[in-house]
Structure 1
Amino acid sequence: MLAVLLLPEFSELEAALALEAARRLEIPAYTVAKGRKGTLALAGSVWTPTYAFPAAPPPKALLIPGARRPERPAKDASWLAFLEEVWEGLEAVFLGFNAHLFLAEAGRLPKEVAAPGEVAEALQALGYWVVPGGFHREGKVYATQGGLALLPALSDWAGKAIEL
């Protein structure tokens, strides 16, 4: 089961891409956020999460789309509690274009990551090593450059090509 974590002002593209990839891989998927009220996305749409934190079933994989100021929710105890609750049971965590900052603030980002431009610079300033490529896996964390770079990372985890 794949959970897509909807941070405030998340990337609709990355969330939709993950949900479609899961559908094509025949992996159950759902969206989850702090509450069940509508969550504003970057391009202005509003999504209603399938589950709020307390009711979400335990996922095998978690995808965190990029968002505006993704580090802010990681300072909120309820976001951290959700991450803590599901972390040990996760096989994989996928990071969208700047979701690295959420995981870094939460203290769970591995030292070696793939990341795009400004995000790479911010991570290097925090002591992380940025490696070239669309995605880099360290442990269970797939750090990506975001957008379409999520597809090969999801394919790697699933062991199957994703045809869109």
Structure 2
Amino acid sequence: MLAILLLPEFSELEAALALEAARRLEYPAYTVAKGRKGTPALAGSVWTPTYAFPAAPPPKALLIPGARRPDRMAQDPAYLAFLQEIWEGVEAVFLGFNAHLFLAEAGRLPTRVVAPGEVAQALTKQGYQVADGSFHREAKVYTTLGGLSLLKALEDWAQKAIEL
């Protein structure tokens, strides 16, 4: 199962892209958030997650879309507990356009990453090495430039092309 973590003010594009990619791969996917109430997205929509943290089934992979101020959510004990609970069981973690900041704040971002513009600058200041490319895999973490580069990272993990 692919879990898509909905941080407050998340990127609908990246979440929808992941759900559609999973559907095309015939791979089960669900959305998960801190609670079951609606989660606001960047473009103004509100999504109701499939599961809240305590009820979510263990995922095989986790995708975190970019969001407004994602590093702040990594200071919330509920998000950290969810990450701790699932971390060992996931084989891949995919990061949207700035979700790197969430994983960095949580202390789980690998030292070598791919990141866009301002995110790359912020990570470089924190001592991370920024590589070239649209995505980079280090251990189980796929860092990406966000948007359609998430699709390329999912294809790499699935070892199968995803036709949209």
Q: Tell me the TM-score normalized by structure 1.
A: 1.00
The secondary structure found in structure 2 opposite 1:150 is helix
The Cα shift of 1:133 comes to: 0.3
The Cα shift of 1:85 comes to: 0.2
The secondary structure found in structure 2 opposite 1:98 is coil
1:18 alignment partner in structure 2: 18
Tell me, in whole angstroms, the C-alpha distance in 1 between the residues paired with 2:101 and 2:89.
22
The secondary structure found in structure 2 opposite 1:71 is helix
The secondary structure found in structure 2 opposite 1:107 is coil
Tell me, in whole angstroms, the C-alpha distance in 2 between the residues paired with 1:151 and 1:5.
16
The secondary structure found in structure 1 opposite 2:23 is helix
Tell me, in whole angstroms, the C-alpha distance in 2 between the residues paired with 1:152 and 1:79.
27
In the alignment, is residue 145 of structure 1 matched against residue 148 of structure 2? no
Tell me, in whole angstroms, the C-alpha distance in 1 between the residues paired with 2:18 and 2:59.
14
1:159 alignment partner in structure 2: 159
Q: Gapped runs of 5+ residues in structure 2?
A: none
The secondary structure found in structure 1 opposite 2:62 is strand
Tell me, in whole angstroms, the C-alpha distance in 1 between the residues paired with 2:25 and 2:128.
32
2:75 alignment partner in structure 1: 75
Give the letter for the 1:33 counterpart. A
Tell me, in whole angstroms, the C-alpha distance in 2 between the residues paired with 1:132 and 1:70.
23
Tell me, in whole angstroms, the C-alpha distance in 2 between the residues paired with 1:115 and 1:136.
9
Give the letter for the 1:41 counterpart. A
Tell me, in whole angstroms, the C-alpha distance in 1 between the residues paired with 2:159 and 2:89.
19
Identity of aligned residues (%): 82
CA RMSD of aligned residues (A): 0.3
Tell me, in whole angstroms, the C-alpha distance in 2 between the residues paired with 1:114 and 1:25.
25
Tell me, in whole angstroms, the C-alpha distance in 2 between the residues paired with 1:8 and 1:72.
10
1:28 alignment partner in structure 2: 28
The Cα shift of 1:59 comes to: 0.2
Give the letter for the 1:133 counterpart. G
- What count of residue pairs does the alignment treat as equivalent? 164
Give the letter for the 1:62 counterpart. L
After superposition, the C-alpha distances for 1:47-81 in whole angstroms (9 at most, x for unaligned) are: 00000000000000000000000001100000000
The Cα shift of 1:91 comes to: 0.5
After superposition, the C-alpha distances for 1:74-112 in whole angstroms (9 at most, x for unaligned) are: 000000000000000001000000000000000000000
The Cα shift of 1:159 comes to: 0.8
1:66 alignment partner in structure 2: 66
The secondary structure found in structure 1 opposite 2:86 is helix
